[in-house]
């Protein structure tokens, strides 16, 4: 299967080849793949190691262009010791949970583009940025709950992140984690109702 991994930024990074191997491994061994949910015959992953504080998958160019873009915040590559700083990146080893982060990011792509039962459509994106934020928090918890020991975060971490960002109750994050809502339209519906509860 032609799986092309190419760097659009960071090709000369000292960890680029290790990262490339992990990207391949995370896709080829992804726990969301099954008899019915399969990788496409051709897929190109554009990887960018960046200094902006965000790690994310962009899949809106798939399937039209047959590619996805994975942006990785350089800090997320490494296991940072307590009190660690960017300076520690010079010799810090790769985080042994980096593969879990990749499983999570590709989980978004597989849900949205390869698993028809997830019911994702770009047109379902909520216009209200707060509702969109809630959907993302619920989706993150849903992915990590399904990844189980391959998840980058624990339920408690997802709950405190969601609390900080938008104020989703811990209970709703737990229900998403447990798999109560299994489709994108479900997540949007729950996010909208959380938003209207928040307004009251
Ligand atoms: Zn995510």
Residue 168 and residue 147 share a domain: yes
The boundaries of the domain holding residue 127 are 121-199
Residue 173 and residue 79 share a domain: no
Residue 39 has pLDDT above 80, yes or no: yes
Residue 77 and residue 44 share a domain: yes
| Cα–ligand 1 centroid distance for 107 (angstroms) | 8
Residue 145 and residue 65 share a domain: no
Of 93, 117, 141, the domain-final residue: 117
**Any idea what DSSP says for residue 100?**
H
Residue 170 and residue 130 share a domain: yes
Number of domains within the chain: 2
| Cα–ligand 1 centroid distance for 57 (angstroms) | 8
Question: What is the structure's pLDDT at 98?
Answer: 95
- Do 109 and 57 form a contact (C-beta atoms < 8 A)? yes
Question: What is the structure's pLDDT at 116?
Answer: 97
| Cα–ligand 1 centroid distance for 56 (angstroms) | 7
| Cα–ligand 1 centroid distance for 108 (angstroms) | 7
Residue 176 and residue 106 share a domain: no
The model carries a pTM of 0.94
Residue 111 and residue 32 share a domain: yes
| Cα–ligand 1 centroid distance for 102 (angstroms) | 10
pLDDT, tens only, 63-73: 999 999 999 99
Residue 107 and residue 8 share a domain: yes
Residue 125 and residue 113 share a domain: no
pLDDT, tens only, 86-113: 555 677 888 999 999 999 999 999 999 9
| Cα–ligand 1 centroid distance for 166 (angstroms) | 15
- Do 134 and 156 form a contact (C-beta atoms < 8 A)? no
pLDDT, tens only, 13-34: 999 999 999 999 999 999 999 9
| Cα–ligand 1 centroid distance for 101 (angstroms) | 9
| Cα–ligand 1 centroid distance for 109 (angstroms) | 10
- Do 162 and 177 form a contact (C-beta atoms < 8 A)? no
Of 117, 150, 170, the domain-final residue: 117
DSSP 31-74: TT--SSS---SSEEEEEEEESSS--EEE-TTTTTTSEEEEEEEG
| Cα–ligand 1 centroid distance for 12 (angstroms) | 26
Residue 95 and residue 7 share a domain: yes
Question: What is the structure's pLDDT at 90?
Answer: 72
| Cα–ligand 1 centroid distance for 104 (angstroms) | 6
Residue 170 and residue 91 share a domain: no
- Percent pLDDT > 70 in the chain is 93
Of 117, 148, 177, the domain-final residue: 117
Residue 163 and residue 140 share a domain: yes
| Cα–ligand 1 centroid distance for 146 (angstroms) | 13
| Cα–ligand 1 centroid distance for 158 (angstroms) | 10
């Amino acid at each position: 299967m032609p799986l092309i991994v190419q760097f659009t930024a960071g090709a000369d990074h000292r960890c680029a080849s290790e990262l490339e191997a992990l990207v391949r491994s995370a896709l080829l061994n992804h726990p969301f793949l099954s008899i019915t949910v399969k990788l496409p015959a051709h897929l190109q992953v554009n990887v960018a190691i960046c200094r902006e504080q965000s790690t994310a998958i962009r899949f809106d160019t798939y399937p039209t262009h047959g590619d996805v873009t994975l942006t990785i915040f350089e800090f997320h590559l490494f296991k940072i010791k307590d009190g660690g700083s960017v300076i520690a990146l010079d010799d810090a080893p790769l985080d042994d949970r980096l593969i879990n982060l990749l499983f999570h990011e590709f989980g978004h792509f597989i849900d949205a583009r390869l698993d028809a039962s997830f019911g994702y459509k770009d047109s379902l994106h909520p216009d209200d940025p707060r509702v969109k934020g809630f959907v993302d928090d619920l989706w993150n918890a849903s992915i990590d709950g399904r990844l189980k020991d391959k998840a980058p975060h624990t339920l408690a971490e997802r709950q405190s992140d969601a609390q900080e960002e938008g104020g989703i109750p811990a209970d709703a994050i737990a229900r998403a984690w447990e798999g109560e809502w299994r489709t994108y339209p479900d997540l949007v519906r729950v996010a909208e109702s959380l938003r209207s509860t928040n307004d009251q």
